[in-house]
Amino acid sequence: MRILITDHVHEVFCEILEKHSFKVNIIKNISYEDLLSLISDFDGLIIRSNIHVDRNVILKAKKLKFIGRLGSGLDNIDVEFANKNKIICLNSPEGNRNSVAEQCIGMLLALLHKITKSNFEVKHNKWNRYENSGFELKGKTVGIIGFGNTGSAFAKKLSSFEVNIIAYDKYKSGFNSFFVKEVNLSDIQKEADIISLHIPLTEETFNFFNKNFINNCKKNFYLINTSRGKIVNTLDLYDALKTGKILGAALDVVEYESYNFKDLEKYPNFFKELINMPNVIITPHTCGLSDNSLYNMSLVLANKIVNIFGKN
């Protein structure tokens, strides 16, 4: 089988596939047009976030048996149309869940204790001790929405901080443990001091976190989003930050994220103001990226491919 890889993978990925007689071709940063012209020659396609596999690509892919996504999300693949064409879609969320969970903890602590704000001020010769006193995580109620790979990994990390962890997942139940209480969505909106989103981007979850969601929350709260930017309505988030309903936000993903992010003029004014708010932390979609996670994601995805399509 011939496999086309369009982005950076760990060398272990190719080693495993080649050991099982797969032929690997690597074309990093391939254009959409070149993908259309080449895809008919391949049995497998490996992507990250750089390529959108839509109907046009799938219709051209006459030999394609699988699409592998290095990472968790499948939102840049038309999964339904791929399945209709008997193409299996695979991902590797098991490989980067620990990296996501660790950064969630780091961003949350930085937000509560105003670490990034005070660090910025000190580097600009300001020593504001009392203005930068923070809030302890201990005793807070953390509501996790989505209890898959990253949501459950985040809960496990949180369990040592003496917090009350509640979790909701529309499509999963029975995950009660000694440190997590399974609840419904309204319970999270009623009880949570911190809400963390760990859900995929689908038609159902697009703008899931919006004005209506916020208004149904009883407490003022902090938001963490490490899933997908378009799950959050950015304008509604901005408005809630301005009123104080949302006390702060830690965002690894944003609605307007782009490889050309420096061209801020093309973005709405409220977004330009949001990214400069002192109670907002934004990282460039790095939660799932680490030296360890690249190896783990590559290993997980390669083994899935071999288990389904490999030869001994």
Full 3-state SS string of 139-181:
CCEEEEECCCHHHHHHHHHHHHHCCEEEEECCCCCCCCCCCCE
Q: CA-CA distances (angstroms) from residue 191 to 168, 202, 203?
A: 12, 26, 27
Which residue is catalytic, options 10, 69, 228, 255? Answer: 228
**Is 169:175 a contact under the CB 8 Å cutoff?**
yes
Q: What's the pLDDT at 260? A: 67
What percentage of residues in the chain have a pLDDT greater than 70? 98
Catalytic residue flag (residue 136):
no
Which residue is catalytic, options 94, 102, 182, 257? Answer: 257
Catalytic residue flag (residue 228):
yes
Mean pLDDT is lowest, of 45-49, 92-96, 172-176, 257-261, for: 257-261
* pLDDT class of 29 with cuts at 50, 70, 90: confident
**Is 47:69 a contact under the CB 8 Å cutoff?**
yes
Q: Is the dihedral angle over the CA atoms 261, 108, 168, 155 positive or is it negative?
A: positive
* pLDDT tens-digit series, residues 155-210: 999 999 999 999 999 999 887 778 999 999 999 999 999 999 999 999 999 999 99
* pLDDT tens-digit series, residues 56-91: 999 999 999 999 999 888 889 999 999 999 999 999
Does residue 312 have a pLDDT over 60? no
Q: What's the pLDDT at 259? A: 67
* pLDDT class of 301 with cuts at 50, 70, 90: very high
Who wins on pLDDT, 167 or 51? 167
Does residue 142 have a pLDDT over 70? yes
**Is 142:120 a contact under the CB 8 Å cutoff?**
no
* pLDDT tens-digit series, residues 198-256: 999 999 999 999 999 999 999 999 999 999 999 999 999 999 999 999 999 999 999 98
Domain spans, the chain: 2-91, 97-282
Same fold, 2-91 and 97-282: yes
Nearest-angstrom CA–CA distance, 45 and 7: 10
Q: What's the pLDDT at 262? A: 74
Q: CA-CA distances (angstroms) from residue 13 to 21, 69, 286?
A: 13, 13, 21
Query: DSSP assignment, residue 219?
Result: S
Q: What's the pLDDT at 3? A: 96
Domain covering 2-91 in this structure, CATH number: 3.40.50.720
**Is 77:89 a contact under the CB 8 Å cutoff?**
yes
Does residue 34 have a pLDDT over 90? yes
Nearest-angstrom CA–CA distance, 198 and 12: 28
Q: What's the pLDDT at 51? A: 86
Catalytic residue flag (residue 265):
no
CATH domain 97-282 topology: Rossmann fold (3.40.50)
Total Cβ atoms within 10 A of residue 24: 17
Q: What's the pLDDT at 265? A: 78
Residues in the chain: 312
Nearest-angstrom CA–CA distance, 93 and 228: 14
